[in-house]
Amino acid sequence: MSEFTQDPLSLPGGPPTVWQEMLAYIGFGPTDAARLLALRPSVRPQMRQIVDHFYDAVLRFPGARSVLANDQQIERLRLSLSHFIEELLTGPHDNEYWVKRRRIGAVHVRVGLPERYVFTAMNLMRQDLCAIAAQALPEAERMATCMSLHRIIDLELAVMSGAYHEAHEERQLRSMQDLIVRNLPVTVLCLDAEGRVTSATRPSTRLLGATAEVGRHYQTFLPESLIEAADLHTQVGRALATGHEITIPRVVLGQRDGARNFRITLVPLEHELARLLIHIEELTDVVRAEQRVHQAEALARLGGLAAHMAHEIRNPLAAISATLQVITASMPEDDRRKGILGKVQEQVHRLDRLVSDLLSYARPVSLRLEAVLLPVVAREAIHASGVPAVLIVEAEERAQADAQQLQQALINLLQNARDALHGANLGLEGRLRLRVAPGALLRVEDDGPGVSAEVLDRLFEPFVTTKTRGTGLGLAISKKIVAGMGGSLSLEGCGPGAVFCVQLELSGSTGGQTSPAGSAGRSG
């Protein structure tokens, strides 16, 4: 009891502690400590009764009973109260005493015992101890000892009140933090030392699916494919070992059009409940946008070059063609060289078609979008193509399209189908169909040999052809036209035969709008 041989406020060593201030405020000093110590021999024989009285009162309340349902727990608490009273009487009532009392308060909070029960039961303890003082002590000392008891018990109540208040604040803070964390628009997981996910933002569960339940180990919380692709165990080990933040800049799941891209950041922490943060960002849209930009830039460069070359080639082609016509016209009818020059002229025309197709592909397509009746466009396409396809109308629908351009796309598809059948030495009769299906869907169907596996992946790319005389641009141009209308062109299935599907947007409106869609620099 070294420091309490003097007034706490006058202790050397700087400003008083909180406990010293409390002692000084209530006036508890060394004399009070001596009185409590003198009372101790009288209290000890009755300790059990005091403790039972205290907890019998607490347990009368249903709210307290529900918290302390375990008999073993109650017995432990009774034993703790005995020690509590013992220390209350013996001290020393120094800073260490205060620290221990705060811990006891924290235990009550952790157990979940509401403060009102504890505080009211403390009054019983006060009464019991004062009663013992009244019985056991000479009259001259009774009042003073009771005052000392009041002071120390009021100090205990102040410490307990502080513990409950701090715990309440911490709970509120955690609750608020948890609320904020769960509603952040990012995917963040918090792992404890066991690797279990102790908290996760809502986007986590949306992003990661049904296995994303808080409480699971991260190995079962996250998809195995993501763990594998990121080599996550290695990175987690590295982050924890180095204590540094680790970023895995690109994690790819899936392939080609279905690929998803992520960036994962691991942040090691030093809290017992939070050992590691995992931040997962989905970059799929960003990556696709980057790819589209790169593709558009590449196509723009290619388109510009192609257009320039096409113009440069057309001039000499025109001159060659004109010269051939003049020479041919001046020859006798039976001159055999006419036939040879005719073949040269054919090749010149072929080159010219190639240049035209290239220019068509390279230059922007200006579309006039309006609600077009699909069966009408389909019928006109069959007529203009010269291909004996059967028209099958399953729906009379209108779609948002440019009628002329759509007709051109269908003509390309029909002529492709015809060429495929000719190439396989198959007749056309009954083997070609143009079907107008519900949902603004047009299907060009043929019973030919189908599309070969070698070109399947590149079918709609420019200059891909299996025909000896094809330019390889027909499908690419058709796809560009349809995409410009907001639709899609695809090959359905992989044989036998071939079915090309043009999917457009249904329209209920009339009137037109012009869309400068799909330049070589903006296709895709």
Partner 1 sequence: MTILVPIDPSDPSRAAVSVGVLLARDLRESVLLLHVSVAPPPLARLTELHAIAEPIRAQGLNVRLRTVQGGVVERILERANGPDVSWVVMGTRGRPLVEGASGDSAAWRVLGASPSPVVAVRPAFGGGGLVEGPLLVVGPPEDARPAVLAASLARTARTRSYAADVELGLTLVVRARAPGLPPKRGAVILSFAEDCVQRGRCQGVIEQIPELVLIVGGLDPVGVPRSLRPPARAASGG
Residues at the interface with partner 1 (CB under 8 A): 191, 193-195, 217-220, 228, 231, 233-234, 236-238, 240-241, 275-276
Q: Based on CB atoms, which residue is closest to partner 1, 71 or 270?
A: 270
Classify burial at 185, counting beta carbons within 10 Å of its beta carbon; exposed 0-12, middle 13-18, buried 19 or more. Answer: exposed
Minimum distance, C-beta of residue 227 to partner 1, in the bound complex (Å):
9
CA distance 413 to 432: 11
Q: How many residues does the chain have?
A: 524
| Terminal Cα-to-Cα distance of the chain (whole angstroms) | 86
Q: Which is nearer to partner 1, 30 or 195 (CB)?
A: 195
What is the nearest approach in angstroms of partner 1 to the Cβ of residue 71?
33
Least distance CB 235 / partner 1 (angstroms): 9
Token code pair at residue 270: 């030093």
Whose Cβ is closer to partner 1: residue 219's or residue 291's?
Answer: 219
CB of 226 to partner 1, least distance (A): 14
Chain centroid, CA 137 distance in Å: 73
What minimum distance in Å lies between the beta carbon of 240 and partner 1?
A: 5
Whichever of 107 and 193 has its CB closer to partner 1, that residue is: 193
Least Å distance between CB 479 and partner 1? 29
* Least Å from the CB of residue 204 to partner 1: 18
Q: Based on CB atoms, which residue is closest to partner 1, 233 or 422?
A: 233
User: Sign of the C-alpha dihedral, residues 509, 511, 516, 518?
Assistant: positive
Q: How far is the CB of 279 from partner 1 (least distance, A)?
A: 16
Q: Closest separation between CB of residue 218 and partner 1, Å?
A: 8
**How far is Cα 104 from Cα 162, in angstroms, rounded to an integer?**
12
- CA–chain centroid gap for 48, Å, is 60
The residue to which tokens 């830039």 are assigned: 297
Integer Cα distance of 60 and 45 in angstroms:
25
| Measured distance CA(442)–CA(400) in Å, rounded | 13
> Measured between alpha carbons, how far is residue 53 from residues 46, 47, 56, 82, 201 in Å?
11, 10, 5, 12, 48
Complex with partner 1: residue 232 or 378, whichever CB lies closer? 232
Burial of 402: CB neighbours in 10 Å, binned 0-12, 13-18, 19+: buried
- Pick the closer one to partner 1 by CB: 206 or 217: 217
Query: Nearer Cβ to partner 1, position 63 or 237?
Result: 237
- Element (DSSP H or E) covering residue 175: helix 139-183
Secondary structure (H, E, C), 286-308 = HHHHHHHHHHHHHHHHHHHHHHH
Which is nearer to partner 1, 204 or 408 (by Cβ)?
Answer: 204
Beta-bridge partner residues of 515: 367
- Residue closest to 357 by CA, chosen among 497, 206, 464: 464
